[in-house]
Amino acid sequence: MITFDDVVKVYPGGGTAVDHVSLEVPTGKTTVFVGPSGCGKTTSLRMINRMISPTSGRVLIDGEDVAGQDEALLRRGIGYVIQHAGLFPHRTVLDNVATVPVLLGKTRREARAAALGLLERVGLAPEFAQRYPAQLSGGQQQRVGVARALAADPPIMLMDEPFSAVDPVVREGLHREFLRLQKDLGKTIAMVTHDIDEAIKLGDLVVIFRQGGIVAQIGTPQELLSDPADEFVAEFVGRDRGLRSLSFDTAAELPVKPVPAELVVDEAGRPLGWRTGADDVRPTGGTFTSADTLRLVADLAILSPVGIAVRVDADGKADGITPHHDLADYLAARRG
């Protein structure tokens, strides 16, 4: 666990970057620091590995003040991923990944062998190993950056806007892989982003900073969306937060009605479409299972030609329907 204990950072010349911040980054979870530029989120992140020293207050890792620890040794035990990856241009991909193990005293050979495995882990084919960073795309460089941070298997990872330098499609892919990796690895991650959607998607816990280095709210993504602490947070998490908060609940308890005759199914019971006229069958626009989110159900009901979302079982057989007014009633009842 990383603990910020009443941390203040004032720069000479007057600016307060971080203003009496106290918070906890729980072990094995992803905590995202988010806020507008100049809100102190990056400064806070960098105080964890002593890239920046607090003016007052303490930063502790598992109860131990980082200020008392050797800077270089501390940093070798903390993975660091930076925007644009910050790879070493003069080293191959493999040697970039092997950097920290070599610093820790492993032979280059051992470190390279381990690095090869890590490349696979982050979804890079082995033929990238001998290339130089300049030969990679932005998304590939970012993967190498993540592999490099993971190389010494540090319990803690710091990620400073790790996905902001790539285009939205690539970012989407990196997000998926990040979540998959983190599910396997369970690192203690502190991440900085200015993108609230990224924070909500990736964070177990989200810390919203406001101008002047003040923490506006700390909570799970769901808490922030459903119960913003003030106007600033409500504004920051966005206007469609009601709809987005549906992403956190599954359709497991959503009541369904029996499949009506208007739903055309094949011989295995899989839905083909809605009969809207004598020879007019229109596609359902998709189906949901009880494991899908309520947001998907709402989306399907809106897109459906008849305003009805279709549920299927594990085999793809239609086993119930939810008209959009049933979904509305369910949400209203749940709130009450």
User: Residues in the site for other proteins, rule: CB under 8 A?
Assistant: 49, 51, 72-77, 80, 82-91, 99-100, 103, 132, 134-137, 148, 158
- The nearer residue to other proteins, 73 or 252, going by C-beta atoms, is 73
Q: How far is the CB of 67 from other proteins (least distance, A)?
A: 17
| DSSP state string for 160-211 | ESTTTTS-HHHHHHHHHHHHHHHHHH--EEEEEES-HHHHHHH-SEEEEEET
- The nearer residue to other proteins, 132 or 330, going by C-beta atoms, is 132
In this structure, the strands spanning 287-288 and 308-312 are parallel
d(CA 109, CA 80) in angstroms, rounded, equals: 23
Beta strand ranges found along 101-170 (DSSP E): 156-160
3-class secondary structure, 50: coil
- The nearer residue to other proteins, 85 or 263, going by C-beta atoms, is 85
d(CA 216, CA 277) in angstroms, rounded, equals: 55
Q: How far is the CB of 68 from other proteins (least distance, A)?
A: 17
- The nearer residue to other proteins, 124 or 327, going by C-beta atoms, is 124
- The nearer residue to other proteins, 30 or 83, going by C-beta atoms, is 83
Q: How far is the CB of 50 from other proteins (least distance, A)?
A: 10
In terms of Cα–Cα distance, which of 306, 301, 303 is closest to 322?
Answer: 301
Q: How far is the CB of 322 from other proteins (least distance, A)?
A: 48
Q: How far is the CB of 186 from other proteins (least distance, A)?
A: 22
CA-to-CA separations, 35 to 41, 165, 178, in angstroms, rounded? 7, 17, 21
